Amino acid sequence: MPSRPDRLKIIQNLIEQNPITSQEQLLSLLKKGAVNVTQATLSRDLKMLKVGKISDGANGYIYTLPSVLKLKESEQQYINDFRRGFLSISFSKNISVIKTLPGHANSTAAAIDFLAFTEVIGSIAGDDTIMIILDENKSSKDFMKSISDKIPELEL
């Protein structure tokens, strides 16, 4: 039987490498690796690791470690900021201009940076306008598709 620190590392690795939906599934994976623990011990270990659950995108939930959970929460916060401020988008060659509500350009530009659109080289934000320089090898349609893929609920 591995020590507690070793067991915690094994649990972390299993959660990182498998879409685990329940403690029973995790117990089964642990037993396959010759780690026998009770459900009560596993529950305490999960609490100690601060394991959470996030949507798997298919009407279910999977276990996740705090760093992944925080990243998902951050991503959702940036998406919400983008949606809250966005009014319109227009293009001229490889320059895009996004109009926002007054005072929302900086948070919307920060969302663009965080979401790491591959088409974007850089952006400059004012109070209600963002100028975005797009990669010359990418089209405005590519950028619009990327926005729609990352923020599907946004009406463009």
Both structure tokens of 135:
């990669």
Both structure tokens of 120:
């974007």
Closest CA to 47 of 68, 29, 28, 23: 23
User: pLDDT 10s digit of each residue in the chain, 156 long?
Assistant: 788 888 999 999 999 999 999 999 999 999 998 899 999 999 999 998 889 988 877 778 999 888 766 667 678 889 999 999 999 999 999 999 999 999 999 999 999 998 889 999 999 999 999 999 999 999 999 999 999 998 988 887
User: For domain 4-66, which architecture applies?
Assistant: Orthogonal Bundle (1.10)
DSSP character at residue 41: H
DSSP character at residue 136: T
How far apart (Å, rounded) are the C-alpha atoms in residues 5 and 23?
Answer: 19
Look at residue 132 in the predicted model and tell me its pLDDT: 98
Backbone angles phi and psi of 79, in degrees to 5: -60, -45
Look at residue 42 in the predicted model and tell me its pLDDT: 94
Look at residue 122 in the predicted model and tell me its pLDDT: 93
Query: Where do the structural domains in the chain lie, given as residue ranges?
Result: 4-66, 77-150
Is the pTM higher than 0.85? The answer reads no
Show Cβ contacts of residue 44 under 8 Å, excluding neighbours closer than 6 positions.
Answer: none
Amino acid, res. 137:
N
Amino acid, res. 126:
G
Look at residue 156 in the predicted model and tell me its pLDDT: 79
Fold (topology level) of 77-150 = Gyrase A; domain 2 (3.30.1360)
How far apart (Å, rounded) are the C-alpha atoms in residues 11 and 141?
Answer: 43
How far apart (Å, rounded) are the C-alpha atoms in residues 108 and 128?
Answer: 10
**CB of 134 closer than 8 Å to CB of 94:** yes
Look at residue 69 in the predicted model and tell me its pLDDT: 62
